[in-house]
Chains A and B, each alone.
Chain A
Amino acid sequence: MRPVFSAAAVFLVSLGLSAPLWAGKRVDVNAELRLLELGQTPPRHIPGASFRVAVFTFEDPDGTGLGDKAAALVERAILTGHSASSLGVLRYEGDLSPRQPGDLGYFDKVERVVASQGVALAVWGRIARSRGELVVDTYAQVPSPAVESRFTWRLRMPHGMGGEQLLARLRPNRFAVQRLQLPLGAAEAIRSAAQRLDELRGSPADSAAIVGRLPKEQVYTLLRREGDWVFLQVRGGPGGWARMPSCPGECGGFLNAATFAGGLIGYQERGSAPPELPGLTPEARAVRDQLLALDGLNDPELIGQSIDLMKRWSSPVLTSSGAGTGSQAPRLPPGAAAAANAAAMARVSGLLMQGFNEAYERTRPELESLRQAVREGRLKPPVGVPEGPGALRENGLQSLSPLDIGLIYDRTAVDREELRAIAFQLVDAALLDPRNPELLQNIAVLFRGAGDAERAAKADRLAQSAGR
């Protein structure tokens, strides 16, 4: 259970000062879009929160009337099931569907709205009717600034091999988290579950009197929990108990999408990947495994697992589908090129860890003179040294200071032919994702490290034009 917030914390929040808080706000998305169209920037909502998540009304092409309800459930599930120490959840209400050919689609409109808010994650979805069922798709998108600041991994090559960085970014950053098929009867369950969320009661019981409702455009702060209830305090308004989100029967699985999304926020703060949950899409599982693999880049114990994990996502898999004409070519997993990139980085990291031991033996006789050169300013101290070799030290290379590690690392070499082979594999991956600039840049770095200047220059040019 979360610690109870003090009145002082609420006071600080109300003053707009930065403090730990868990808060939510309902926002009119069309009002925000109008401001943006006028060239104005909407005010930042819940500015005191370290992390902000935006949840948008689900697209509702068949007019089920459940778009806002589904969003309300996701919003509250993230707010109450969060693992971040300071979180603001914005629930944007209003339809963002394209109205005419050429209108921005949902993902692009969402991107536009969240750009002014600096949110770490946006969630939305779509509810449609199909052959007597409700199909509920939930999507997540990590805005580009959040990808850049929180979902980017770097591996600097030793100076002896060019000193350039290999780079990986989370891809896809727009993906379906869950596709759920529910009986049409589940619509009523979603409707009534969502309705209860905005009712504030005098005590944590269904029988307690309703003392207020959550208003639009007002921040409400989660102050405490009790069983299936949370106490929400509206800024400058009433406080009361609201039910934790729950969806009875078959719609219960819907909340797994929110749990996964909350896990992505938890990852941004603590670095632990979202939990493995039933019913998630291959895209969501690919994202989760990418996080696990890339976080293992610097860990000698995990590097093998990282390589295996990413190999699985980068290799085509045979599928049973394929009715009709056409070759039965294996199906590509989602994010296959990004997984190949992560696998390549893991392989290079592994080679560098192996090479570090050798470099240590070679460098040891001159280590003192190198230290001296650094002290006297004749040699720049190494910066941006990966943690992998440091971790290796605990496994045998004793008594090395961070400076020693850096000096040895920059004298580490790996077999050029191995680098070349990895680069060629990345070229094959890039053929499936040629707009991925980091992939192309990594190819250039690897070819340069392997001494193939011509291919490196060509990859550089392709990377430049992919970023244009």
Chain B
Amino acid sequence: MHLFLSYAREHQATADAIVLRLRQAGHDVFFDKDDLPPAESYDNQIRQALKDSDGLVFLISPESVAHGRYTLTELGFARERWRNPSGRVLPVMIAPTPYSDIPEYLKAVTVLEPKGNVVAEAAAGAERLGGRSRLRRWAIAAVVLALVVVGGVAAWRVWGPRPGPTRQARGAVSDLTTEAAVAGATVEIRCGVEALAEGVTDDAGKFDLAFASCGEPATLSVKHDQYTQQSRPVPADQAETAVALLPKALGACVIKNAQGVVVGHFRPPLSGSDTGGDLAGRIAEALTYDVLTVIQTLNLPPALQPRFLACDEAKPRSVDFAAGYARALGADAFLVGSVEPADGAFNVRAFVGDAFQLFKPPLPSVTVGVALNDPAVARLAPEMHGAILTAVARGYAERRMFRECVDVAVAAERLIGRRTPALDQTLARCQDGTGLAGLRKGS
């Protein structure tokens, strides 16, 4: 089925995930309008794409229904295409939006308000699009399928079941944050509900299981009482599978469907001095005050702004694992540090690691001579703010939000007062991604 996805750029990440799911389900999805060829007018190309579509998935958010947004123009084209949206248009509420702001055309059909996994529910809803002709096609297909099944069952009975060839599933299990081998993890191969093989990882975290092929993709799942369970298909080519597990203690620290920074544990002074408690929480709060204000001056929509999450349970054995923690927690940057006594006061030492290898080793900063009951202890130096913004900018780039990346990188530059190599690299990549370079002289 040809589907058209209409969404506001602020929700690019959600749109990307829905498109991926729909394409995996075999649908052809038109959504990446930045890649349109320059031959025709933009409006005409969008209108034509809608004409060629069997249905429209409209992601409702305050931004997508805001006056003047191009999503409303797309909705106008959809109205030209289908005067009756029933069976053709699927509105999906992906961010709380006042009902009064939703265009009447969308309200004419049931608005899907996902209760759990937005991507899965939106994709499932899209499956039902296609109108009456599609229903008719489905009915015919169902009859044909029924005949095939009946025939298949008869053939099965005649020739009987044959055991499939034996296959191997081998690989290694490691800790997502430290990359250390995880021994004693239970590895299970399943075919649907049927368990085909089970084993336990050795001291090097390795497993090697033989199982009978069952004629459909087998699933490998790994369980350990200290880690969150993970499942994935067994690779068809019998390649080694690397499974990285997230420690259960960090489950609440994962940043989902957003960009963000996680502030991990700050080791208190060995002297046992009172630190005022919850340094991670105080630093996360200070970052919310300081860095979020900078980002808000850029007019970035709230849905795109990064979160600052305190996670005292995140205690890497060494600051060198900061990057691994950032990746494991879905964060752009991860902070960790310690408090040390110095000359009657304290030095607060912080390190920034990031998910993109921008700061390798993690970037250090020291705030010297602070009294721990002083709220300022939780404030980081401007260069740390700059480093965090650089990582956040890079996070936008990874999500192909190059314009937002440039804005945040420029803000980081203003904050730091110079271009660091990490910033140079990030800015260049994002400027390249904006498509503006093609307008430059000599291009």
Task: Decide if A464 is an interface residue (CB 8 Å cutoff).
Answer: yes
Assess whether B297 is in contact with A326, with CB atoms less than 8 Å apart: no
Assess whether A329 is in contact with B419, with CB atoms less than 8 Å apart: yes
Assess whether B375 is in contact with A62, with CB atoms less than 8 Å apart: yes
Assess whether A443 is in contact with B439, with CB atoms less than 8 Å apart: yes
> Which residues of the other chain, B, contact A455 by a CB distance below 8 angstroms?
439
> Which residues of the other chain, A, contact B143 by a CB distance below 8 angstroms?
none
Assess whether A433 is in contact with B407, with CB atoms less than 8 Å apart: yes
Residue-wise, chain A 280-309 has the 8 Å CB interface mask toward B (1 for contact) of: 000000000000000000000000000000
A328 nearest in chain B by CB position? B418
**Which of the segments B33-41, B50-58, B239-247 contacts the partner chain?**
B33-41
Task: Decide if A356 is an interface residue (CB 8 Å cutoff).
Answer: no
> Which residues of the other chain, B, contact A139 by a CB distance below 8 angstroms?
293
Assess whether A435 is in contact with B435, with CB atoms less than 8 Å apart: no
A-B interface pairs (CB < 8 A), number: 159
Shortest Cβ distance from residue B285 to the other chain A in the assembled complex, whole angstroms: 7
Task: Decide if B308 is an interface residue (CB 8 Å cutoff).
Answer: yes
Task: Decide if B163 is an interface residue (CB 8 Å cutoff).
Answer: no
Contact of A427 among B307, B418, B436 (CB under 8 A): B436
- Give the distance in Å from the alpha carbon of A64 to the alpha carbon of B210 in the complex: 67
Assess whether B308 is in contact with A62, with CB atoms less than 8 Å apart: no
- Give the distance in Å from the alpha carbon of A382 to the alpha carbon of B402 in the complex: 41
**Which of the segments B67-75, B104-112, B131-139 contacts the partner chain?**
B67-75
- Give the distance in Å from the alpha carbon of A129 to the alpha carbon of B296 in the complex: 22
Assess whether B8 is in contact with A468, with CB atoms less than 8 Å apart: yes
Contact of A129 among B288, B376, B441 (CB under 8 A): B376
Assess whether B420 is in contact with A326, with CB atoms less than 8 Å apart: yes
Assess whether A108 is in contact with B439, with CB atoms less than 8 Å apart: no
- Give the distance in Å from the alpha carbon of A460 to the alpha carbon of B402 in the complex: 17
- Give the distance in Å from the alpha carbon of A468 to the alpha carbon of B38 in the complex: 18
B8 nearest in chain A by CB position? A468
Task: Decide if B434 is an interface residue (CB 8 Å cutoff).
Answer: yes
Shortest Cβ distance from residue A172 to the other chain B in the assembled complex, whole angstroms: 6
Task: Decide if B302 is an interface residue (CB 8 Å cutoff).
Answer: yes
Residue-wise, chain B 248-280 has the 8 Å CB interface mask toward A (1 for contact) of: 000000000010100000000000000000000
Assess whether B299 is in contact with A174, with CB atoms less than 8 Å apart: yes
- Give the distance in Å from the alpha carbon of A419 to the alpha carbon of B100 in the complex: 45
B9 nearest in chain A by CB position? A468
Assess whether B418 is in contact with A329, with CB atoms less than 8 Å apart: yes
**Which of the segments A95-103, A254-262, A394-402 contacts the partner chain?**
A95-103
Task: Decide if B440 is an interface residue (CB 8 Å cutoff).
Answer: yes
Assess whether A108 is in contact with B302, with CB atoms less than 8 Å apart: yes
Task: Decide if A461 is an interface residue (CB 8 Å cutoff).
Answer: yes
Residue-wise, chain A 390-431 has the 8 Å CB interface mask toward B (1 for contact) of: 000000000000000000000000000000000010011011
Assess whether A321 is in contact with B417, with CB atoms less than 8 Å apart: yes
| A101-B308 CB under 8 A given contacts A61-B286, A62-B376, A174-B299 | yes
- Give the distance in Å from the alpha carbon of A417 to the alpha carbon of B8 in the complex: 37
| A427-B439 CB under 8 A given contacts A101-B308, A461-B38 | yes
Interface size on B, residues (CB 8 A): 64
Assess whether A428 is in contact with B440, with CB atoms less than 8 Å apart: yes
Assess whether A101 is in contact with B421, with CB atoms less than 8 Å apart: no
Shortest Cβ distance from residue B64 to the other chain A in the assembled complex, whole angstroms: 9
Q: Which of A301-343 contact B (CB under 8 A)?
A: 319, 321-322, 324-329, 331-332, 334
Assess whether B376 is in contact with A434, with CB atoms less than 8 Å apart: no
> Which residues of the other chain, A, contact B308 by a CB distance below 8 angstroms?
101
Contact of B417 among A61, A107, A322, A428 (CB under 8 A): A322
> Which residues of the other chain, A, contact B156 by a CB distance below 8 angstroms?
none
B260 nearest in chain A by CB position? A101
A454 nearest in chain B by CB position? B38
Assess whether A322 is in contact with B286, with CB atoms less than 8 Å apart: no
A148 nearest in chain B by CB position? B68
> Which residues of the other chain, B, contact A98 by a CB distance below 8 angstroms?
288, 292
Shortest Cβ distance from residue A371 to the other chain B in the assembled complex, whole angstroms: 36
> Which residues of the other chain, B, contact A106 by a CB distance below 8 angstroms?
293, 296
- Give the distance in Å from the alpha carbon of A444 to the alpha carbon of B179 in the complex: 50
Assess whether A102 is in contact with B71, with CB atoms less than 8 Å apart: no
> Which residues of the other chain, B, contact A321 by a CB distance below 8 angstroms?
417-418
Assess whether A458 is in contact with B42, with CB atoms less than 8 Å apart: no
A130 nearest in chain B by CB position? B376
> Which residues of the other chain, A, contact B285 by a CB distance below 8 angstroms?
61
A173 nearest in chain B by CB position? B299
> Which residues of the other chain, A, contact B68 by a CB distance below 8 angstroms?
467
Task: Decide if A432 is an interface residue (CB 8 Å cutoff).
Answer: yes
Shortest Cβ distance from residue B334 to the other chain A in the assembled complex, whole angstroms: 15
> Which residues of the other chain, B, contact A241 by a CB distance below 8 angstroms?
none
A107 nearest in chain B by CB position? B296
Assess whether B375 is in contact with A129, with CB atoms less than 8 Å apart: yes
Task: Decide if B424 is an interface residue (CB 8 Å cutoff).
Answer: yes
| A107-B293 CB under 8 A given contacts A325-B420, A331-B417 | yes
> Which residues of the other chain, A, contact B286 by a CB distance below 8 angstroms?
61
> Which residues of the other chain, B, contact A460 by a CB distance below 8 angstroms?
41-42
Assess whether A458 is in contact with B307, with CB atoms less than 8 Å apart: no
B431 nearest in chain A by CB position? A431
A174 nearest in chain B by CB position? B297
Assess whether A332 is in contact with B414, with CB atoms less than 8 Å apart: yes
Shortest Cβ distance from residue B151 to the other chain A in the assembled complex, whole angstroms: 51
Task: Decide if B374 is an interface residue (CB 8 Å cutoff).
Answer: yes
Assess whether B296 is in contact with A39, with CB atoms less than 8 Å apart: no
Contact of A319 among B69, B418, B421 (CB under 8 A): B418
- Give the distance in Å from the alpha carbon of A214 to the alpha carbon of B260 in the complex: 43
Assess whether A434 is in contact with B258, with CB atoms less than 8 Å apart: no
Among B69, B293, B431, chain A packs the most CB atoms within 10 A around the CB of B293
Assess whether B9 is in contact with A465, with CB atoms less than 8 Å apart: yes
- Give the distance in Å from the alpha carbon of A443 to the alpha carbon of B417 in the complex: 29
A59 nearest in chain B by CB position? B289
- Give the distance in Å from the alpha carbon of A460 to the alpha carbon of B100 in the complex: 32
Task: Decide if B218 is an interface residue (CB 8 Å cutoff).
Answer: no
- Give the distance in Å from the alpha carbon of A363 to the alpha carbon of B34 in the complex: 43
Task: Decide if A459 is an interface residue (CB 8 Å cutoff).
Answer: yes
Assess whether A464 is in contact with B439, with CB atoms less than 8 Å apart: no
- Give the distance in Å from the alpha carbon of A303 to the alpha carbon of B332 in the complex: 46
Residues of B within 8 A of A (CB): 8-9, 33-34, 36, 38, 41-42, 68-71, 98-100, 258, 260, 284-286, 288-289, 292-293, 295-297, 299, 302, 305, 307-309, 370, 374-376, 379, 383, 402-404, 406-407, 410, 413-414, 416-421, 423-424, 431, 434-441
> Could you name 20 residue pairs across A and B whose Cβ atoms are closer than 8 Å?
A97-B289, A101-B284, A105-B293, A106-B296, A128-B375, A128-B376, A128-B379, A130-B379, A175-B297, A319-B417, A327-B418, A331-B418, A332-B413, A431-B406, A431-B431, A434-B402, A457-B38, A458-B435, A467-B68, A468-B70
Residues of A within 8 A of B (CB): 39, 59, 61-63, 97-98, 101-102, 104-108, 126, 128-131, 139, 172-176, 319, 321-322, 324-329, 331-332, 334, 424, 427-428, 430-435, 443, 447, 454-455, 457-462, 464-468
Query: A106-B293, A461-B38, A465-B70 are known contacts; what are 5 more A-B pairs with Cβ within 8 Å?
Result: A172-B297, A325-B420, A459-B439, A468-B33, A468-B69
10 smallest beta-carbon distances between A and B, as pairs: A321-B417, A107-B296, A326-B420, A329-B419, A101-B307, A322-B418, A62-B375, A434-B403, A468-B70, A434-B434
